[in-house]
Amino acid sequence: MSDLIIPTSYQTPLSLRQTEQGIKLIKDFFQQNLSTELRLNRVTAPLFVLRGLGINDDLNGVERPVNFPIKALDEQRAEIVHSLAKWKRLTLAKYGYEPGYGIYTDMNAIRADEDLDNLHSLYVDQWDWEAVITAADRNLSFLRQVVRRIYSALLRTEFLVCERYPEIRPFLPQEIKFIHSEELLRRYPDLTPKEREDRIAKEYGAVFIMGIGGNLSNGEPHDGRAPDYDDWSTPNEDGFCGLNGDIMIWYPVLDRAVELSSMGIRVSPESMREQLRIRGLESREGLYFHQRLLKGELPLTVGGGIGQSRVCMVLLHKAHVGEIQASIWPEQMVIECRQHGINLI
């Protein structure tokens, strides 16, 4: 299969039972460290939300959410969440969190339009987190500080895994580097966005690529972002636009870059209105979430999602996310993986 990567002479370092134990070890330890680093309380989150309120994550704007009618609500339709980017902001307002504190939760989603490969599944599990900030925090210096804290939690988790399983050796660098997507384009103008990610991730080992969503100097965005959660249009102190980004690492098992987190400072009322204008989606201003934000009823926040299965996959040195989570895969992919020692759950 063209999208499937088969590492040469791949052999999983852990048995199936060790893998399951390792998954629990990573999830328990990382989320506690994340909570401590960012001062987050764990909350309960929905699997689905009502359609038409503007709460669900629109991702790139083309993915179809799984939906179903609700008998008890006169057949109103609910949607399985894509992520909880906007729901978390509503929840912070509801619970009355002060700046410097926030929430995290286990987010479980179904993305039926996902292209399936080593990293992408129909089933998505993330640590979704969000914290209240002040207007003075809406800058790159603050964003970089948050990224470094998350990366520190990741490094500590890698150390724990390697202590528990000596057959696994650490590979993450001690520091994460930062680069704007426009700088990346200027450095590698002849490469595609994914090729640029591979090149810079291999060079640095771990990198936070900033400014995801807005058009670059070539007239195209580095990658897609919905216009109503991350702020990708506000000019920053580096002379570029965008207060968001992706945490990427170089993963030797697959010999490619792997995104572990998408995150950023969230839109203000002004930047959301501008981003909706850029995308020609001004009609969304009438939706429930957007009205709450435009009226100043929601706090300024920073937040993101961290892939649970991906973190477990890379720290346990697996070749396929299906070795970490139970999902549905094309039959040919299952057969080809099995032939090369990749046992999908």
Cut 0.85: pTM above it: yes
Is residue 33 domain-resident?
yes
Q: Which has more pLDDT, 168 or 62?
A: 168
Helix H or strand E segment including 15: none
User: Distance between alpha carbon 219 and the CA centroid of its chain, in Å?
Assistant: 24
Please choose, from the candidates 250, 258, 194, the residue with its C-alpha nearest in 3D space to the C-alpha of residue 220.
194
Distance CA 301, CA 8 (A): 44
Quick one: average pLDDT of 112-133?
95
Query: For the chain, what is the domain count?
Result: 1
Q: Is residue 344 part of a domain?
A: no
Mean pLDDT of 204-209: 98
pLDDT over 90 (residue 11): yes
Which CATH number do you get for residue 277?
A: 3.30.930.10
Is residue 72 assigned to a domain?
Answer: yes
10 assigned to some structural domain: no
Nearest CA to 208 out of 230, 236, 181 is that of 181
Question: Does any domain span residue 203?
Answer: yes
| 112, burial (CB in 10 Å: exposed 0-12, middle 13-18, buried 19+) | exposed
Q: Is residue 76 assigned to a domain?
A: yes
Active site residues: 57, 111, 126, 246, 259, 262
Q: What's the mean pLDDT when you consider all of the chain?
A: 95
pLDDT in tens, 134-152: 999 999 999 999 999 999 9
What confidence score (pLDDT) does residue 56 get? 84
Give the rounded percent of residues in the chain with a pLDDT score beyond 90: 91
Domain containing 298: what range? 16-339
Residue 69 lies in a domain: yes
Please check the confidence at residue 61 and state whether its pLDDT lies above 80: no
